Copies of this chain bind each other. A is one copy, B any other.
């Protein structure tokens, strides 16, 4: 289970074991439960073992903005291991199993093992890359494109996390949550989904989405997968200390 983490944060030699040896604490949470709350002084971070979760911020008019979505295997909340005060909340999306790990253990491990530190760092960098993409998505695309984009991202990330295939998957969120992620209103998300469906890009059954033609949806969503940095097994990455020579 926790080896998801090891796999995910790219193959650092055999400090794999050191990662697995981290003391953790299992917990299952019901849908909607908070994992971290904005303003908290978090003392631990967590790995999603199963289910989904999302991070969000609340504007003072009460509007939410979801800033990222996470799926099994993701390491959330690494930021709080250094930043101390949570600047956003993390909430379970459906029922969820998480492993909590203490910050000091994370930091100690990072200090002892540069390759692990680097893996954490990379994870944070990829996170950042996704954030940037979301800024562009929310800031510069119209509702259809934006929505199609999110559908693509979801498809690919689920595939990458071995949770299904890109052609057809289960979208674990309500339309209201989608709206909060896309910077739209629930009503408009509904209409947008319908219009995307009506034109044959996808078909829906309850919350499951089937993509008719990946390439067409990709084009509609102006989607380019580069930002996900999904090929971590790049040869230059396998031996972090050796690749210095490159």
Contact = CB atoms under 8 A, between A and B. Distances in A.
Interface of A: 39, 55, 57, 59-61, 63-65, 67-68, 78-79, 82-85, 87-88, 104, 107-108, 110-112, 114, 117-118, 120-122, 124-129, 131-136, 138-141, 182-183, 222, 226-227, 229, 234, 236-237, 240-241, 243-246
A234 B121 contact: no
Given A82-B118, A117-B117, A118-B82, A59 B133 contact: no
Given A63-B140, A83-B229, A85-B226, 18 more contacts: A55-B132, A57-B133, A64-B140, A78-B125, A82-B125, A83-B125, A83-B129, A87-B129, A87-B226, A104-B243, A104-B244, A121-B121, A124-B124, A124-B128, A134-B135, A138-B183, A139-B139, A139-B183
Contacts of A111: 114, 118, 240-241
A166 to B, nearest CB: 20
A101 B18 CA distance: 32
Contacts of A129: 79, 83, 87
Top 8 nearest A-B pairs (CB, nearest first) are A139-B183, A131-B131, A65-B136, A138-B139, A111-B114, A65-B140, A57-B136, A67-B132
A59 B127 contact: no
26 contacts: A57-B133, A57-B136, A59-B136, A65-B139, A67-B136, A68-B132, A79-B125, A82-B118, A82-B125, A83-B229, A84-B234, A87-B129, A87-B133, A87-B226, A104-B243, A104-B245, A111-B114, A111-B241, A117-B118, A124-B125, A124-B128, A131-B131, A131-B134, A134-B135, A135-B138, A139-B139
A101 B141 CA distance: 35
Contacts of A240: 107, 111
Contacts of A237: 82
B131 A128 contact: yes
Contacts of A68: 132
Contacts of A78: 125
A111 to B, nearest CB: 4
A97 to B, nearest CB: 25
A39 B226 CA distance: 9
